[in-house]
Structure 1
Amino acid sequence: MAKVIIIGAGGVGQVVTHKCAQLPEVFTEIVLASRNEDKCKKIAAQIDTPIRTAQVDADKVPELVALFEREKPFMVINVALPYQDLTIMDACLEAGVHYMDTANYEPLDTAKFEYHWQWAYQEKFEKAGLMALLGSGFDPGATNMFTAYAAKHYFDEIHTLDIIDVNGGNHGYPFATNFNPEINIREVTAECRHWENGEFVETPAMSLHQSFSCPDDVGTFNIYRMYHEELESLTKHFPSLKKAQFWMSFGESYLKHLEVLGNVGMTSIEPINFNGVEIVPIQFLKALLPDPSTLGPRTVGKTCIGCVVKGVKDGKQKSVYVYNIKDHQDCYREVQSQAISYTTGVPAMIGAKMMIEGKWMKEGVWNMEQLDPDPFMDDMNQHGLPWQIIEEPDFNLI
């Protein structure tokens, strides 16, 4: 049906390329581009379907525009760094190409995961007759769909939302991150915000935790409250929400290492002068840590990510838990990746598929929950992320 350009050749880019290549009737031509074209070629060599590659610096609008005008794709799937969202959006506007990403824009020098920079593009995309789909990963992405699906089919009004992201996997390293270390550490160490009584309430990072037992024998884990970007859009588009929180599991080894690294300044985003060279400590740390794209062969266990939604149906209190469980080694056998990259990459492919097929094609800038969740949820079941619903789950969440 359409030609796409995928920008980004990390762990998620690898999964997106594999999954798009599995649907040649939808993704008729795939171009994988990155600053490092060798990484693109390595991914292309894993796939039987011909994948073309290109070199592009996603920080530079003229380079992006030149690539888009040369290739003339229907859309761009942006799985590069969140710092590059706006340059890619600018290039899409200039070249007349639809846009999609998996994470909202974040300034390089400020740990702020917020949508307002991208929401400001609404009129530009609308006037250009183009669509920009924001946050089509898992969280954000599938979790937005879980919330929207529950709201559509199970409630008249939703009142509380708890998004719970558990990674029960083990990669064997004392300390490593399952996705881009720089983004991961900035997320975890940022001030926590949750939604309560019509406003965001700030609390210290990782200051509240509780125990959570996943279904299907995945295990029991400590989950920590933290801020995550989908809270901003979900509370905007579901104004009946009285409380919304995001929780993520962390093991003791991860937290211990993170605390020490923070204490000695290695997680800082402020540049320092080292022997006459300016370096950013967290970027130096990233160079020392294992590349997340290499974790697939050694990661065992499962992820369990879902949403506990409570509200009212026919005047009665109701609650549901919508979730997906994914085995790390199943992902590696299919696309040579661990489940964190897989659970982000599959929704990216599905979001692009929704746009190409016209099921979600709307001019302007859109968050996932503003669109019909049903075809997306159907495709999750078809393409590797089957989900379940438990009505009236027995959870005692804070």
Structure 2
Amino acid sequence: MGKTLVVGAGGVSHAAVHKMAMNADIFTEITLASRTKSKCDAIAASVKERVGVEIKTAELDANDVAATVALIKETGAEILVNLALPYQDLVLMDACLEAGCHYLDTANYEPEDVAKFEYHWQWAYQDKFKEAGLTAILGSGFDPGVTSVFATWLKKHKLDTIRQIDVLDANGGDNGQAFATNFNPEINLREVLAEVRHWENGEWLTSPAMSTKVEFDFPGVGVKNMYQMYHEELESLSTHFPEIERARFWMTFGDAYIMHAKVLENVGMTRIDPVMHDGKEIIPIQFLKTLLPDPGDLGALTKGKACIGDIATGQAKDGSGEKTYYIYNICDHEECYAEVGSQAVSYTTGVPAMIGAAQLLKGNWKEPGVWNMEQLDPDDFMDMLNTQGLPWQVHELDGPVEF
């Protein structure tokens, strides 16, 4: 159905490319490119062994627009799936515009020198993509991504409006490491240690990182401490569903993770500005990344489950008044590893990236412009979650959350 160029060769890419190869009727030809071609070759070898599908590989500096344009034209790619770093979103969108290629990513753009997670840089491309007749789909991971589609599905089938929404992300997996992040350590720590923002009554309210903790009993995972954070889907959901009075994001962390993150921050290891070391300029958080375990190597070690979903309250479509629904997926780390060789955090991002790209290639989401997931029809995406390894459940709760 379509030729696809995937940029980036980390854990998420490993999962996404395996799932693309398992859907060869949609992804007729796959090219995987990154700065380190050997990483692409290793994923390609795994795909060949597990799925029996040949994929092409290439070396690419994603910051080089001309090189990306040349590779898009060489491969004949209809869509570029950006699974590289979010710092590279804009240059890859520029390349797609120049080459006439559709675009999809899993995380919003952020400047490398400022931990600022906002969509306005990418939303500014709306007219360019419309005029070019091209589609750009933003944030097709799980959170953001599936959590936004969950909200849209609730609005289409259960609720006329959403008054408040909480996105809850629990990882109950254990990898036996003293300290390790579930995805790229640099991006993970920038997110976790950023100032908390949430949307309430038409404005952004702020609080210090890790300052709001709530205990919650997650389906399939159990009771965990979750901390309020800022996450980019809060911006897009509050923009595209203007009736939302309150939108918050929560993620679980163990005490050991919190302790390590605080110590690393206190001693300056999470700084993102350059410092001089032994006569050379380094960025501490990038040096730290080289010391920490590679999340892509943790699949075989990780056991347990993850549960991610939304709790949304609003007016019911059937006129029965206000109702609250909890819609979520439970994902097993060991089952993910058995299927594609990835732990659940990579799987829950990589599979929705594949499904989002499939929606475009199938023609369901082929609308010129720049779109967040909640702006697009949810039904076929939700159906594919059920058939592609991320089945979901929805339950009515007794009332709104009390935390």
TM-score between both structures, scaled by the size of structure 1: 0.99
CA contact (8 A) 1:137 1:347 kept: yes
Distance in 1 separating the partners of 2:361 and 2:123: 22
1:63-142 matched pairs, under 5 angstroms:
63-142=67-146
| SS of equivalent residue, structure 2 residue 315 | strand
Distance in 2 separating the partners of 1:396 and 1:309: 9
Give the C-alpha shift of residue 247 in structure 1: 0.2
Counterparts in 2 of 1:52 and 1:23: CA distance versus 1, 3 Å = same
Distance in 1 separating the partners of 2:161 and 2:23: 37
Give the C-alpha shift of residue 206 in structure 1: 1.1
1:263-282 matched pairs, under 5 angstroms:
263-282=266-285
Distance in 2 separating the partners of 1:158 and 1:98: 31
1:317 equivalent in alignment to 2:322: yes
> What is the one-letter code of the residue matched to 2:371?
W
1:200 equivalent in alignment to 2:204: yes
* Deviations 1:305-345, CA, capped at 9 Å, x for gaps: 01000011226110000000000000000000000000000
Which residue number corresponds to residue 31 of structure 2?
31
Which residue number corresponds to residue 175 of structure 1?
179
| SS of equivalent residue, structure 1 residue 351 | helix
> What is the one-letter code of the residue matched to 2:222?
G
Deviates more, 1:152-161 or 1:110-119: 152-161
1:184 equivalent in alignment to 2:188: yes
1:286-365 matched pairs, under 5 angstroms:
286-313=289-316, 314=319, 316-365=321-370
Distance in 2 separating the partners of 1:68 and 1:324: 34
Query: Where do 4+ consecutive residues of structure 1 move more than 3 Å?
Result: 393-397
> What is the one-letter code of the residue matched to 1:17?
V
TM-score between both structures, scaled by the size of structure 2: 0.97
CA contact (8 A) 1:321 1:393 kept: no
Which residue number corresponds to residue 249 of structure 1?
252
Counterparts in 2 of 1:396 and 1:123: CA distance versus 1, 3 Å = closer
1:10 equivalent in alignment to 2:5: no
* Deviations 1:66-110, CA, capped at 9 Å, x for gaps: 111211211101000000000000000000000000000010000
CA contact (8 A) 2:275 2:282 kept: yes
Give the C-alpha shift of residue 163 in structure 1: 0.2
In structure 1, list runs of 5 or more residues that go unmatched: none
Distance in 1 separating the partners of 2:401 and 2:103: 40
Computed over aligned residues only, the root mean square deviation of the Cα atoms, in angstroms, reads 0.9
Give the C-alpha shift of residue 397 in structure 1: 3.6
In structure 2, list runs of 5 or more residues that go unmatched: none
Which residue number corresponds to residue 223 of structure 2?
220
CA contact (8 A) 1:119 1:365 kept: yes
Aligned residue pairs total 397
> What is the one-letter code of the residue matched to 1:21?
A
1:50 equivalent in alignment to 2:71: no
Distance in 1 separating the partners of 2:184 and 2:117: 15
Give the C-alpha shift of residue 396 in structure 1: 4.2
> What is the one-letter code of the residue matched to 2:375?
Q
Which residue number corresponds to residue 234 of structure 2?
231
Distance in 2 separating the partners of 1:238 and 1:206: 27
Distance in 2 separating the partners of 1:378 and 1:201: 36
CA contact (8 A) 1:15 1:335 kept: yes
Which residue number corresponds to residue 385 of structure 1?
390
CA contact (8 A) 2:313 2:400 kept: no
Distance in 2 separating the partners of 1:191 and 1:247: 13
Distance in 2 separating the partners of 1:156 and 1:315: 11
Identity among equivalent pairs (%): 58
1:19 equivalent in alignment to 2:19: yes
